[in-house]
Amino acid sequence: MAQENIYTDPATKSMEELVALCKRRGFVFPASEIYGGINGFWDYGPLGTALKNNIRDWWWRQMVECPPIGPDGEPVEIVGLDSSIIQNPKTWEASGHVGGFSDPMVDCTETKKRYRQDHIEVLIVDDKGCWGFPENNIDYIAKKLKKANVSRDDGTVKNLTDIDTSEYEKIIAPDTDKPGTLTAPREFNLMFDSHAGAIKSDENKVYLRPETAQGIFLNYKNIVDTMRVKMPFGIAQVGKSFRNEVTPRNFIFRSREFEQMEMEWFCAPAESAKWYDFWKHERMRWWESLGVDKANLRFRDHDDDELAHYSKMCVDVEYKYPFTAPGYGELEGVAHRGCFDLTQHQEHSKTKMEYFDQAAQLAAKEAGKSKEEIAAASKYIPNVIEPASGLTRAVLVLLCEAYTPDPDRPAGVYMKFKPKFAPIKAAIFPLVNKDGMPEIATKLYHELRQKYVVQYDAKQSIGKRYARMDEAGTPFCFTIDGDTLNDNAVTVRDRDSGQALAERLPLDQVDAFLAAKIAE
């Protein structure tokens, strides 16, 4: 049945289970849960925070501290930044976010609810009527349409954006019974606004940044003037951004407060296509380094008609989320932004953003280029390639990727994180809480905690302890048992196989074993 395929995909069920596990094990909690929550905001619990920090640190290490080797065999140059969330509001006029950064919205005059125009789908049943419903809303389909004695198969479904406004009078809006209550679409700005300073006035209106990128463009000139960087180079930052999404959804996929990892790569215009290609493939390599299955990742080039006005080329790295499967959804965008941003800021701030490229000038002269060619190569506003990804979205991907049902285990599921990203690297168990075992286990724990995030657990049966570590995604459990007193070795329980390794591991090799696994 078509209805089942579209609206009750098995993926939805697994998302529900994942969200439940995230709450049960302290990965992600709904924000302000004791006050009934707040739509679009999430808190990261102890395990979720550790997972997020691990991904953040890996991105920072591979992007800023030890950036990749470029086409010339030398590491590319990238510096870090941490700019303010609130900036001078002129920033957002220059960037186009004041005015342009908005979604068309429709209001329902009956229920006073507001919807994103492109999130409403309309079921058109020739002579019976037109039912509007929030896209993919299973409840609506099941209850409301049934009540009206129509089914999805009776008609055709169109997105509201594909219906002429003059036809809106026929549409029965969600949660209403009569047609014609939807207004024509209006623009709604996605930036949160506030006021800085003691007086609330238009003059001191400020915005929470909707992207970290503009903080980088604001500091481009400062970095060039102070850090002795030479073209090409990058500026990277990790930080929170805010978008007042009308319909936050899909767990932490689309929330109103989220964390980004963005890098702006500045280069000579003539070199931009080469670097676009470099970063496109480099970013895919990075996602694979997280342990994400290649089969769940793909590139999707933007068509010309979906490119932002400033963008020359853009490719998304997409992931097969449970709620998009068998389709894919956005994970990271690698955009060729041309010289749009720096030119805008130059115009609005009257600060020269031109770069004098001594090396390119020399090369052009040596190549016998014309005067005009030499001038063009020597002085330019750089082009920008932007690999922009979501840190909180990366957390979601690793949670989805790790979630592995296994009915044979007590927990019924285990979280298969690559050791490098696992919130807890290892657990240390005395088999029983006596006979000298706790003493050895405690000693090992005290040693390992100096270098790794490890947990000591002596409570309940060993099976229950394994089950807890399966849900936390802890790759290894070291058990001190009766034999340890004689052979100075431990049992290593491997999370993925659910079995003990054949070989016992000498106590003095545990550190090296763990270090090697985490480095993988």
Site for a copy of itself in 81-140 (CB under 8 A): 81-88, 90-91, 105, 114
26 is a site residue for a copy of itself (CB under 8 A): yes
Task: Give the shortest CB-1-to-a copy of itself separation in angstroms.
Answer: 34
Nearer to a copy of itself, 82 or 164 (CB): 82
Identify residues 231-290 at the interface with a copy of itself (CB under 8 A). 237, 240, 242, 244, 246, 256-257
Pseudo-torsion of CA 453, 454, 460, 465, nearest 10°?
80
Task: Give the shortest CB-153-to-a copy of itself separation in angstroms.
Answer: 33
Q: Residue 133 corresponds to which tokens in the numbers above?
A: 């419903």
Q: What is the CA radius of gyration of the chain?
A: 27
Alpha helices in 404-505 (DSSP H): 437-448, 462-472, 484-487
Task: Give the shortest CB-60-to-a copy of itself separation in angstroms.
Answer: 8
Q: Are strands 489-494 and 454-456 parallel, antiparallel or unpaired?
A: unpaired
CB 400 within 8 A of CB 287: no
Task: Give the shortest CB-392-to-a copy of itself separation in angstroms.
Answer: 10
Taking alpha carbons only, the member of 111, 241, 244 closest to residue 178 is: 111
CB 156 within 8 A of CB 130: no
CB 479 within 8 A of CB 431: yes
Stretch that binds a copy of itself, among 8-16, 73-81, 159-167, 433-441 (CB under 8 A): 73-81
Stretch that binds a copy of itself, among 21-29, 118-126, 493-501, 506-514 (CB under 8 A): 21-29
Task: Give the shortest CB-250-to-a copy of itself separation in angstroms.
Answer: 17
Out of 6, 38, 124, 125, which residue is the one contacting a copy of itself (CB under 8 A)?
A: 38
Pseudo-torsion of CA 219, 256, 46, 406, nearest 10°?
-120
Phi and psi of 236, rounded to 5°?
A: -125, 145
72 is a site residue for a copy of itself (CB under 8 A): no
Give the Cα separation of 456 and 441 in Å (integer): 8
Size of the site for a copy of itself (CB under 8 A): 81
Out of 49, 136, 151, 250, which residue is the one contacting a copy of itself (CB under 8 A)?
A: 49
CB 102 within 8 A of CB 134: no
Identify residues 142-201 at the interface with a copy of itself (CB under 8 A). 188, 192-199
Q: Residue 385 corresponds to which tokens in the numbers above?
A: 């390639």
Which residue in the block uniquely carries the two structure tokens 């080797």?
69
Stretch that binds a copy of itself, among 2-10, 76-84, 145-153, 429-437 (CB under 8 A): 76-84
Identify residues 52-71 at the interface with a copy of itself (CB under 8 A). 52-53, 60, 65-66
Task: Give the shortest CB-519-to-a copy of itself separation in angstroms.
Answer: 10
Nearer to a copy of itself, 44 or 414 (CB): 44
Out of 19, 23, 151, 376, which residue is the one contacting a copy of itself (CB under 8 A)?
A: 23
Task: Give the shortest CB-77-to-a copy of itself separation in angstroms.
Answer: 10
Give the Cα separation of 457 and 441 in Å (integer): 9
> What is the x/- site pattern for a copy of itself, positions 422-451, by CB under 8 A?
------------------------x--xx-
Task: Give the shortest CB-520-to-a copy of itself separation in angstroms.
Answer: 15
Give the Cα separation of 158 and 476 in Å (integer): 51
> What is the x/- site pattern for a copy of itself, positions 190-229, by CB under 8 A?
--xxxxxxxx------x-x------x--xx-xxx--xxx-
How far is CA 119 from each of CA 133, 147, 335, 520, rounded to the nearest angstrom? 8, 22, 25, 42
Nearer to a copy of itself, 313 or 396 (CB): 396
Nearer to a copy of itself, 26 or 129 (CB): 26
Identify residues 454-473 at the interface with a copy of itself (CB under 8 A). 459, 468
Neighbour-count burial for 222-261, b at 16+ CB within 10 Å, e otherwise: ebbeeeebebbbbbbbbbebbbbbbebebbbbbbbbbbbb
Stretch that binds a copy of itself, among 47-55, 137-145, 164-172, 381-389 (CB under 8 A): 47-55
Task: Give the shortest CB-297-to-a copy of itself separation in angstroms.
Answer: 26
43 is a site residue for a copy of itself (CB under 8 A): yes
Taking alpha carbons only, the member of 310, 304, 305, 300 closest to residue 334 is: 300
* Beta carbons within 10 angstroms of residue 352's beta carbon: 9
Task: Give the shortest CB-217-to-a copy of itself separation in angstroms.
Answer: 9
